[in-house]
Structure 1
Amino acid sequence: MGRLNRDTLIALVLLVFCGVMFSASLEIEVTNYGTMQSSVWPQAVLVVLTAFSLGLLGQSILKPRTGEVPADGSSGGLGKYRNAVIVYALFFLFLMTLDFLGMLLGGIGFVFLALTFLGEPSLKRVPLHLLVAVATVGIMWSIFTFGLGVLLPDGELLQLN
């Protein structure tokens, strides 16, 4: 058997993680309210993650990767992770401004900036990005606030309560 590739190693680590977390989910306290046990949703997520990890493990064993060159001709490196780094930076900024902006304005800002930085770099797209951000975050905020009765952070800038 050859050397383990990165996908195989990650799949094995994820499977061990899923096993440990599933074992820990059996220790979740059973509450006397509600219709389901408290462990149902964590276990459902872990089952899906386990299935995906098994798929990754099977794919990495059956079709091991060779020395692939990216299609754009770049050598990889940090530029390969540009979009992920941008999204993590924007999410960190969203979390840091959550107390001031609140969920509604912060969410709109996050989606707008993500679309603008990751989408087609054109000024004519900015109004569309703003419309999509306001519509999607506004609809989700309304569903959680009015439909489900979840108290989302208001922020200091926009006091809704």
Structure 2
Amino acid sequence: MSAPILWIGLDDLDGEDSEDTGSIASKIARQLRLKGYNVEMFKLQLPKLKEIGFDNDNAAYAIRVRMDPGEAMDFVGELVMDISSIESDPGLAIVMDRAFPLAVKLAKASLNSKIPKELVLEVSEQTGIQLLELGGNGDGVIGAFAVAVLASVGCAEKLQIDV
């Protein structure tokens, strides 16, 4: 049996004097390639709302890869903790194969308004999405959830990864 397709969402990895989240996500994708995995990368533009602290771009990123979910959580989680800014609030989300409609509905709502982290945690638990808060206040799981979910249903921009 082959490993499932994973959609690994990443958000809020950057800080004041660090690389942006997209650059850090690209580094993680390259590390997965070096381990022999075929990867694709996706971007989701998040809203620039007053109640959401954001950098210039306010985008979240997803990596599509076929691998064991536990291995992905360990490998990517460790890389995020090593590479992300100490000032960040990094979050990681993993969707296996394709997100359920309930998760898609919530992720789409996040494109227009701030959604509470508690609701993301609740819906993730109900729909089997794995989340990791990897530092700070962990609010990055909101964007990570949104990009992983929406990329899994074809609603995120596919990017080229520089090798």
If the TM-score is normalised by the length of the shorter chain, which range does it land in?
Answer: under 0.3
Q: Higher relative contact order at CA 8 Å, sep ≥6: structure 1 or structure 2? A: 2
Per the normalisation by structure 2, the TM-score is: 0.23
Answer with 1 or 2: which has the greater Rg.
1
Per the normalisation by structure 1, the TM-score is: 0.23
